[in-house]
Structure 1
């Protein structure tokens, strides 16, 4: 049974330009995307690299212990599990990966209903994500997003660093400037599952936090963010 969409908030209705920005991992997708991509890529580019997956797991543990940055971790993961494929090869692989992940394990049903609400409101739709652009673009195209801000990969490094936290906000603000959009005449909805996106959630006119956790719900509500259960279907 489809859900009747709630009326748009008053501030959302009267903005001259409506912009809806979505995170990708665990906001639109049911699961994170990077580690599964590393396995997907290794299996198709060089299956012997799958034997290196325990090394990647140890690298993630090292990151959580504070030994290096997320940018360094992701750079290491790409080189470890995919080597140095040509740009065209990586782009094709990323597109196939996006299609596979949309099919299984799929997307968040409640978030998709929110996206449909934004589409009906004629909002400009953007994905802003720490995921790599070579596969995030496949999600954006299939889900009807006209704009994408993502982490870049030049074949050996991550120019501009990981698109995360304050860096993601800075890149969104740069996009506003490039597009000639006056923030005072725009109404912005930002949807994310991560407290690392607090800079953008606090900046948005309508911050929407995606979680199934009661503890996270309480934290988000204290900050004045709307909370949705992304798996809700009714």
Structure 2
């Protein structure tokens, strides 16, 4: 067996590096700025979030719903709104403990990757705020005009899709699984396929089901945002 050449530090984003769900939070923010009907959008946004927690989310339906206002408003308005979202919601929520964990891996020479089911429009600026260049997220289709259509492009980066998308990311660099030693931090049972694939799974701020499974399997449990 050949020795792995590269160390990967893989991070889920929502409730792992962030103490919130950025996808759900973006939806809440669009209600605050008047882009959608508060009652109807709020009801559906909450329902989709519960579907995600239960592991039954239809991500194609959700992406159409979540990006509808962005698609309609266009790139300039969307970029301006996302900047406000970063300033008002995301940056105040970024904890020093999360930044420190990412920096520790970077300083150790690990290749740091954020891998998130949330779409690239929402997550790209968040990854940049963490100082992480490598992002694997659910990609969005674009029309002939170059703007978003509301559809998913390719395989969603969710559940088994996270394993497939990471394999494609490795292949694009001329690597395969045998070339890397990977640590993956995640809070959710939705990420079980990738947690089981890597050498070093870390249940991070885990939900009840993942906490129980981690304890059963002897995986490390990291409560990154535990109040001191």
Structure 1 length as normaliser, TM-score?
0.79
Task: Report the equivalent of 1:22.
Answer: 11
Structure 2 counterpart SS, 1:155: strand
Structure 1 counterpart SS, 2:157: coil
Task: Report the equivalent of 1:7.
Answer: none
Task: Report the equivalent of 1:187.
Answer: 181
Q: Select which of 17, 21, 28 maps to 1:39.
A: 28
| TM-aligned CA deviation for residue 148 of structure 1 | 0.6
Structure 2 length as normaliser, TM-score?
0.80
Task: Report the equivalent of 1:128.
Answer: 115
Task: Report the equivalent of 1:94.
Answer: 82
Aligned length: 218
Instruction: Give the Cα separation in 1 of the matches to 2:20 and 2:170.
Output: 29
Structure 2 counterpart SS, 1:139: helix
Instruction: Give the Cα separation in 2 of the matches to 1:50 and 1:87.
Output: 22
Task: Report the equivalent of 2:200.
Answer: 206
| TM-aligned CA deviation for residue 15 of structure 1 | 4.5
Q: Select which of 146, 150, 170 maps to 1:176.
A: 170
Conserved 8 A contact 2:99-2:130: no
Pairing 1:56–2:73 present? no
Task: Report the equivalent of 1:117.
Answer: 104
Alignment of 1:139-158 (within 5 A): 139-153=126-140, 154-158=148-152
Q: Pairwise CA RMSD of aligned residues?
A: 3.0
Query: Which shifted more, 206-215 or 28-37?
Result: 206-215
Give 5+ residue unaligned stretches, structure 2: 141-147
